[in-house]
Structure 1
Amino acid sequence: MQRRSARAARVAYKDESDASEWEGNDESSDYDPSDVVSEDWEVDTKDQALMVKHEPQVSFDAPALPVKKRARSYSGSDTDSDVPLADRVRARRKAPKPKLTRFQRAVATLNAMHPELEGVWEALATMRRQRGSRLPKAEQPEGIAATLLPFQLEGLQWLQSQEKSLWRGGLLADEMGMGKTLQMISLLVSDPQRPTLVVAPTVAILQWRHEVQKFAPSLNVTVWHGAQRTSDTAELASMDVVLTSYAVLESTFRREKYGVTRRGRRVHEPSPLHGISWRRIILDEAHHIKERTSNTARSAFALKSDYKWCLSGTPLQNRVGELYSMIRFLGGDPFAYYYCRQCPCKSATWSFHNNSVCVHCGHKPMVHLSFWNFMILRPIQRDGFEEGEGEEAFVRLRLLLDCIMLRRTKLERADDMGLPPRTIEVRRDLFSPEEEDLYRSLYTSTTRKFSTFLDQGTVLNNYSNIFTLLTRMRQMSNHPDLVLRSHTRSNVDLLGEVDEVHVCKLCLEEAEDAILSRCRHVFCRACITQYLQSFEGDVDAELRHDDTTPDCPYCHATLSIDLDAPALEPPCPIPTPGNPKRQGILSRLDLTHWRSSTKIEALVEELTKLRELPDRSIKSLVFSQFVNFLDLIAFRLQRAGFRICRLEGNMTPEARDRTIRHFMENPGVSVFLVSLKAGGVALNLTEASRVYLMDPWWNPAVEVQAMDRIHRLGQHRPIVGTIESRIIELQNKKSAYDLLTQAP
């Protein structure tokens, strides 16, 4: 008997008690009920969907199903002929297959082309079960001039076991102040094979050298930084530990890959750091490579070593996608690779000829995907981490982090550390009548300008203007002079210089860690980074197109700037309290009639209370992101009789080290003024016990890093920090991501 199409043989059984009564919906159908074979019916789910769409009038309990018929016919002589036909059909048909989601179909397609991906998550689950919930302790290593605490011995054992695993490294994410540096030095001593490269922020290079010389004097350590650094790879390879900064690492990589112009010719200079196969590479404060497309991240990816380590107390600051760069640096296979869905092509880089065809397989970009983005990032972006595929992706991410990351908190290890309590206070003060009038006037003007952008539909085109308006309001909360006396000349030249300083075109203040764009405009490195991040968001690299490139916030040309370029040299000496020639904002003020602000006076009040305590040895850190505000604070504190030190972003490593030592070793110096952008990470300032954050940053992790400069091993005084509450709600929202790095 010929097979009949379901479209031509759709029927609806009207009366279960009468198996002979059928109603055909197609007048031309020659369907005969005697052709039905009860045991040979099977569901055609595709045609079933069509039937439901076109035949909604089916009335009995189970909807009539379109069928495919086999070659046998029903003779009517079976022993079960007394059973109604409809019951036999429903009892013996196959159960319909569950409908797959689009994501599940994509996973099946990917696994079919790349079978090695099928058991990835099961393998991670097995690794986590084998690791267990309790870490064993290593033996106290010989050659370390310190007794490791119990949790540090556990950390050392984990470091050693990770180097024996497939990962050959990992992410040590203990909270700030728990001795990550000491644990890594212990690992170096336990396996003294040379050489080891340590990449750290500029402010931390000399601190690393002091720590190595203090705890492991047997190791030879050198600092590869500055204009006098050697280019002899053999000399570097003979050292036990080589210390360098992210800026130097990026610079050498850029010179090797893109070259430099010398006498009209493009010359490529080989990078000594990338020409050595290192025993270990350690990235301190590894969140510096969180932007996967930056030259800093690419320069780290290009390094070669046997083992790779990332150290960061705040591995996740803004977005889940920031973890990708660390996974990529560690060489996570398959999580850091791109896969083609039409062939076995697999690549660690997104490489295409003219953005049209893959350099490896010749297929289009649309059929390639990042395993990290596909399995983790996009589902969380789409559904969050509390429901649906986003929740499943969150579980996968936790599973991955459990296998490559070790994170302990001070609260969990409070008994081992014996740290004093840390108290965070939010002090709220009211404006003076004059300050309130100025702020309301600025607020009204800002609201009116924003409403104009909103009415014209040009909000996104005026992002830099809106950012400047918000920055001005924050500065007004600090001191009116930061707005009213921001500059004295309107004829700003193309270099962005006003008299003796570089001025940022975004915040309109003296540029902190200034860098220059191709269109010859100066920006603070942090300001322009935040500006660019507002455009990038979580857009995947393979989905970015030229039309999403942001414009220069000043001249609106296509923005081209190297975020990792060396900072511009200041056109004049760094302002210091002892320099009789006032610079910056102080040179634009009449100091004989100058008035302080509510916030500065609140700081003076807090510091005066400390000075009146019986213990005169209490020291304080004062953080602000505005250098001009630090100038005003320094002037007011000096008039009140406080001895101060300052740390700013344009200081050399040697100058920073001298300033830190002066603060730590002189009892009379009670206040350390620190730029939040320059000194908020990698410092060990346990001599201080008070932290004052004068203006909150958008990213809460930056403030946590700043407060933990003093709340760390070696601190014996109770810790108190005070912060402004203007941006606390935004910080709390971003802090929710810290759930990813907490123990389950």
Structure 2
Amino acid sequence: MARRGRPQTRARRPAQRDRRSGGPGAHGGEDVLSVLARSVREVESALRHGRVSPATRTKFQAVALLLREERARVRGDEKSTERRRTEQLKRLDGVAKALAMSAVREPTLLALLDEDAVVTDEARSLTRTVLQRAGIEPAPEPEPEVPAAEEPAAPVKPRVVPQSVVSRQLANPFLAPDFSAARPSGPRPTPLAGWELLGPLLRSFERASNGATACMELPAPASRKAPGGRELMPHQARLVAAAAAGHRTFLLADEPGLGKTAQALLAAEAADAFPLLVVVPNVVKTNWVREAGLWTPRHPATAVQGNGDSVDGFADIVVVNYEVLDRHAGWLGEFGFRGMVVDEAHFIKNKSSQRSQHVLEIADRIRARTPRPLMMALTGTPLINDIEDFLAIWQFLGWIDDAKPRAELMDALTATGLTPADPGFYPAARRAVVDRGIVRRRKVDVAADIPARRIADLPVELDGAAGRSIRAAERDLARRLVARYEDALATRRSGAVVSSPDGIDHELVGQVARWEQKDAAEAKSGDNVFTMMRRIGQAKATLAADYAAQLARSAGKVVFFAKHVDVMDAAEETFARQGVRFSSIRGDQTPSVRQRNIDAFVEDPGVAVAVCSLTAAGVGLNLQVASNIVLAELSWTAAEQTQAIDRSHRIGQTEPVTAWRIIAAQTVDARIAELIDGKAGLAAQALDGSDEEVGSSADVQHAALVALLTEALSSAPADLQSAGSLT
């Protein structure tokens, strides 16, 4: 059966083969490349003269599909000469480049290039028209093949069940789920039963007037206290209060930086929605486990990695990323979850994609087993391209099914006493949907609740060969420091005694760290604390850029800081691949180029990210057009980090500024982050807010080496530590 969304294979007549790319047989009609080039020019013209229409999107998608197919055909044409193929590919590249530049100027076109994008009937029809204009008769599209009854079913991707999950199930054989409590009753008669309602519901949001509320009424919180002595911000506490009062579905669309993760975890606590399933992008999986430890410490969290060999089947919070959901959808649906959170919920906007289908399948199975589960969709960007993006999120939340509103929303619509034929239906319908649980707050709306400037750490796991190599290098460095320490102990003058309770000569540890620091500064090659930090930055580059791209889509402009050129290069490649427009601000640019790139970021609404050198762009720039900053690499000083943040946090900034610091978990990166924070606190205490730095970058480098050596000695066998008392 032909794959949905792909143009069908066409029968080619020999006389037509060259006509496709302008060969000698191109007579009696235009060649395909000429038609494609003219179509691209028409798209460019439409973009220059106004808003993109559905016809423009259709033309863009059809051209993209034909370009892909034509490139594959040219490369596989063994009858053509190498020179001919090179010439044709060069022409195709020119058309493709022009098409790509159009897409970068208009972000709504980018989604049409996604691998899971649905090809519309109009786009398929246009591809056939283009071929006919080129003198090529497309083959008729085949009817879908129906497998015979005796044919085996198509192979299904293998699904796994972690052993610890089996252990949990065996430990609780008497906890059979009560399906009757969650079984929905039959359809109830309603005056709206004969109406098509999903279209009018979507139009009710398109027709919303300025000032129409986008947030349900939230109760005043009884308390803002959270576990561990933490205190919620007022806007966070109000959502938690709604969950405590019995509300069970939320589309939480707060802007980034307003603490959606904490709100979701504490709403689960208030609703007693454990065990809780959390589906997230890979880049924030580690952060969810960390945040769960902070906000809900009584409920252990576990992350599903790969096949789930390390998952804790007895945890109350299970965090899984979209990329491995297909392997685990089976046991996740049977686990007995009482709540489900989908982070960056716009990832499921395309209901025909596999990840969307898995999320919707698991959500339905949770609803079938649990009466009134807590269902939360978190996204700063509920709409990406079209109003239809709402549908998958509403279906996940249980507000609608494939064709109509479900019972609670239908009851609310019926209670309005209106039908889509009545003018008053649309504002009333929108209000009914919002009251199901849409919560939307902007930074500027709750500016009084949050600090004017704050740093939010986002820990990430370094997987794969790069992560293993970095951890091995850190172990080698620790072993080298220990060996150096032990050699120094062995050559000490007679009579020296270690009086420290832990048996470690901390004065000698400091001296060994200084020796290593000096050697590292003079070294031309080999692993040391400087090369390790650079390798960590390289390994984090793509993850940090992915997160910056998510921020740009949901919150507007973002400033991306990195220390090394190769990290900036890797980030820019990621942005280009995702169709995110950026400006590059580096130290090797001429003043005119630098200013031109700054102006592009500040003045052009389409330029979403400024990729900045931490050293070259950390001072003297005014980038207050952005209120979100991504620090892909750590500075060696608190002052340098503060200077970077102050490019956006300055006079004229109307929104609170959040700096998202990407930290490589379980590496020296995390230790250095703590040291930088300690130095920042010392500076604030000693200088009462002065920007003058206390200490230097050398202090942090030395402290990092001291911490690494001390930790290695503390975990070493006791007989090695006792060597400090030998003469």
Query: Could you state the TM-score of these two structures normalised by the residue count of structure 2?
Result: 0.35
Would you tell me which structure has more helix in proportion to its own residues?
2
Would you tell me which structure has more strand in proportion to its own residues?
1
Q: Which entry has the higher C-alpha Rg, 1 or 2?
A: 1
